[in-house]
């Protein structure tokens, strides 16, 4: 109970993906801090690509993050093709230079894992940190683990 694994609907090309164990989450938000630092070079949880949601039906905490869907409804909905498959990691990534901040990807995401940052005017989503997800590396409780092949050994 509480484990989210995207393996059943991942794109065949995904090399690395996150497995979420909500029952292990303590709500410390370290994942949000390290995610935001990785992307923004500052601790800025509002811009974290992973979100902790407290008091849900799935347990005390739910971790919401892009599940790298095989059919990628977010990419299909984007009118400027700003979301594409990273051939190296297999993750669906957002090109901030191309994104127009229209929110079509937000509406298309069945998991609510994408949001538009109003200040930046672009959508933000998990890109698996280029294949080495910071959230999983720093999670002290083991609530986030990385499955698949490591890109460090390449």
Alpha helices in the chain (DSSP H): 30-40, 73-77, 104-108, 134-138
Q: Is the residue at 120 inside a domain?
A: yes
Q: What is the pLDDT of residues 26-53, one digit of tens each?
A: 999 999 999 999 999 999 999 999 999 9
CATH number at residue 144: 3.30.70.20
pLDDT at 87 over 50: yes
Which pLDDT band holds residue 99 (cuts at 50, 70, 90)?
Answer: very high
- Round to whole Å and give the CA distance between 53 and 42: 22
Q: Is the residue at 117 inside a domain?
A: yes
Domain count, the chain: 1
Structure tokens at 77: 């909905």
Q: Is the residue at 63 inside a domain?
A: yes
Beta-ladder partners of 56: 59
Q: Is the residue at 154 inside a domain?
A: no
Q: How far is CA 110 from the centre of its chain?
A: 13
- For 55-59, 71-75, 107-111, which range has the lowest pLDDT when averaged over its residues? 55-59
pLDDT at 123 over 90: yes
Residue 5 confidence (pLDDT): 47
CB 25 within 8 A of CB 42: no
Structure tokens at 134: 């910071």
Residue 25 confidence (pLDDT): 94
Q: What is the pTM of this model?
A: 0.83
Which pLDDT band holds residue 9 (cuts at 50, 70, 90)?
Answer: very low
User: Which residues constitute the domain of residue 40?
Assistant: 3-148
Q: Is the residue at 153 inside a domain?
A: no
Residue 58 confidence (pLDDT): 61
Is residue 146 classed as helix, strand or coil in its secondary structure? strand
Residue 57 confidence (pLDDT): 67
Q: Is the residue at 133 inside a domain?
A: yes
pLDDT at 24 over 70: yes
């Amino acid at each position: 109970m509480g484990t989210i694994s995207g393996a059943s609907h991942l794109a065949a090309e995904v090399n690395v993906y996150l497995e979420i164990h909500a029952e292990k989450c303590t709500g410390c938000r370290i994942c949000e801090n390290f995610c935001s630092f990785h992307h923004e070079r500052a601790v800025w949880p509002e811009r974290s690509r992973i979100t902790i949601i407290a008091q849900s039906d799935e347990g005390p905490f739910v971790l919401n993050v892009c599940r790298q869907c095989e059919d990628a409804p977010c990419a299909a909905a984007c009118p400027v093709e700003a979301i594409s498959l990273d051939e190296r990691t297999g993750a669906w990534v957002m090109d901030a230079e191309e994104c127009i901040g229209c929110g079509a990807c937000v509406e298309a995401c069945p998991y609510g894992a994408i949001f538009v940052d109003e200040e930046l005017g672009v959508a933000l989503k998990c890109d698996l940190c280029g294949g080495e997800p910071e959230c999983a590396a720093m999670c002290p409780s083991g609530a986030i683990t990385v499955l698949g092949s490591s890109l460090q050994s390449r």
